Structure formats: structure tokens, C-alpha cells
Amino acid sequence: MRENEFSLINRHFKGRGGACHPFTHLAIGDDASLHKLAAGMELVISTDTSVENVHWPDDLPLEVAADRAVCSALSDLAAMGAEAVAVWVNVMASDQDAVKAIAEGVSSALTRYNVELVGGDTCRSATNALAVTVAGQLPEGTAMRRDTAQENDNIWLVGVLGLHALGLQQWMSGNKQGAFVHHINEIAPNLAAGVHLREMGVSCCIDVSDGLLQDATHLATASGIGMDIEVTQVPQWPELCQQLGDSNLVFDAVAFGGEDYALLFTAPVSMNIPADLAVKIGNCRAGSGVNLYRDAVVCHVEKQGFLHFE
């Protein structure tokens, strides 16, 4: 049966995703959604686009691509330390089957993280794509930002780096069963860790979506400081070097590979960070720019991370 976009939205999107949140008073079905913010809370909003053949290869199932698109948007809330409260999705789809597949992926991610789908729209496009807008909340004035790192802060990492890039390389080279491929499907926004960090008093954080070097540079630039990072301290470095047999491959994946959605944050030396939450990978310093070290030797790098209009 052929359906129009209204029946498609009702059937595939309405009421999907996580449970209703008190933030939302009117969800899908009107010209806009309606929301209230609890007293003393601040609203956090981010939006993220994912496009076929740019953010995912066109032979990746659309369900997976859509799930990833939602997770990647939620990761921006994790980086601010916000609790996720609502999501809107713009679906651009080549046909009805694509709408259905994208809806499955969106619902799957939102159900996993218990966030309600409160609005969006669905339209036809020659290129499959999603724009995912996410809202979160946190107590006023407590958001983690990019511009609050201080000289001498330690630099910490929650999560892994490089595994998604290694998986994508295998997938793109035709090795669809490669050992790292499952990391393409399993990206996980560190929402709980983000809230935990914010509650501990961490003030400076970013999610690593475009590679360690590029995202660390965003943070250093915004804060007006420099950074020294020892890449061999990132989780699984020795295991990866052994597994791949070439530490240069690991270095490239860690430094330039994106989409693992680790959280990179800084904290004063005096702050006690639990070892099961994060690993220390470097220090902030006066000056500017990010130096990557490999076994204490500074690395000279040419490229940065993923750029859309290089």
C-alpha cells in the first residue's frame, strides 16, 4: 500500500522512542511541540546532520545509519552534561522503504536511551539524510563548555578512540566481517558519564566526533590554552598496536578518526577522577595549540580530522 507522509509519520514515528518526559506537554501532531522547563533548570539544544555517502557508506543498512545519527546528536548533550529530554527528527528519504528503515533506527536508539520523539518532519529527497535535534536540561549555570579549561588542568578521556575509524576502514575495503566492523553499529553517547562529570564539578568538556586532534584543538582554542597529549595513554593502545601490527595505523585512527563519541574533559589536578570513569591522557599548559606525543616524542602531523569542504 502506498502511503502519504502523514500516515507514514503516524505509523512509523508517533509514540515511538522513550517515555514521555515532564518537559513535553504536546508532542507530534500539531504545528509545533510545547514544553515547560522546571524552575532553576537550563535548556540545552543541539542539532546534527547525517547524510548518506558523507556520514555513512550507502551499503550500510539505513536502520544502522539512523540509529547512529541519533546517538551522535545525543553525544552533544553528553558533552554538556545534560539529561536528554526530547528529540525532533527531520527525515529525508528516497522512498517509503527508506522512511520505514530510518524510523526503525531512530526508534531503536531513542528507546535504548529512553528519550521521547516529540516532533520532526518527513520528506522525499534524492539523498537519504537525517537532521536530529536534541534537547537536554541541567541546573542553571552548570553546563560543561569548551572555553573553561585552565593551564595545568589534567586532560581526561571517557571512552575509546579509533575503533570506529578502524571498523569503517574494514567495511569500506570490503572486509564486512572484520574484527572492528561492529564498532560502526555500536556508537554510544556517554550520557550517564556526562551527567556524572557535571555533577562532580567538571566545567570543560567536548565530545570527540571528528578525531582527537581536531576536537582537542577546538577545546584549546576556545579556552585560550595549549595542550600536551600522550596518545599511548588512550585506552587499548598496546592491544591495538599488537592486533594491527603497525602502531602508525593506530596513531592515525586515534588522532584523526572520528565518531567514537568519547568525552574529552579537563579538570584541576586537585580533582579526584575515579579510574573506572576516565583515563588521564595529558595536561593543559600556557600557550596555544595541541601537541600529540607518542612515547614522550612529539609527533609532527599534517592533517587534522574529518573536514567537509577541504
Q: Which of 19, 32, 269, 275 binds a second copy (CB under 8 A)?
A: 32
- 254 φ, ψ (degrees, to nearest 5): -70, -45
Q: Residue 4, interface with a second copy (CB under 8 A)? A: yes
Helix or strand run (H / E) with residue 41: strand 41-51
> Of 60-68, 121-129, 166-174, 266-274, which segment contacts a second copy by CB under 8 A?
121-129
From residue 42, give the alpha-carbon distance in Å to each of 8, 81, 251. Answer: 34, 11, 39
**Closest distance of CB 221 from a second copy, Å:** 10
Residue 209 · residue 95 · CB < 8 Å? no
Nearer to a second copy, 131 or 254 (CB): 131
Q: Which amino acid is at 272?
A: N
> Of 36-44, 109-117, 157-165, 253-261, which segment contacts a second copy by CB under 8 A?
36-44
| Residues 170-189 within binding reach of a second copy (CB under 8 A) | none
Q: Which of 56, 88, 237, 265 binds a second copy (CB under 8 A)?
A: 88
CB burial readout 48-60, b (16+ within 10 A) else e: bbbbbeebbeeeb
* Alpha-carbon dihedral angle through residues 294, 299, 303, 305, given to the nearest 10 degrees: 30
**Closest distance of CB 120 from a second copy, Å:** 6
From residue 51, give the alpha-carbon distance in Å to each of 54, 175, 195. Answer: 5, 23, 29
Q: Residue 1, interface with a second copy (CB under 8 A)? A: no
**Closest distance of CB 235 from a second copy, Å:** 22
> Of 29-37, 180-188, 235-243, 253-261, which segment contacts a second copy by CB under 8 A?
29-37
Q: Residue 203, interface with a second copy (CB under 8 A)? A: no
Q: Residue 198, interface with a second copy (CB under 8 A)? A: no
> Of 27-35, 153-161, 181-189, 238-246, which segment contacts a second copy by CB under 8 A?
27-35
Q: Residue 249, interface with a second copy (CB under 8 A)? A: no
Question: Which residues does residue 16 pair with via DSSP β-bridges, in sequence order?
Answer: none
Q: Which of 102, 117, 131, 195 binds a second copy (CB under 8 A)?
A: 131
The number of CA neighbours under 13 Å toward the Cβ of 158 is 28
Nearer to a second copy, 44 or 165 (CB): 44
Question: Which residues does residue 74 pair with via DSSP β-bridges, in sequence order?
Answer: none
| Residues 37-76 within binding reach of a second copy (CB under 8 A) | 37, 39, 42-49, 51, 53-55, 76
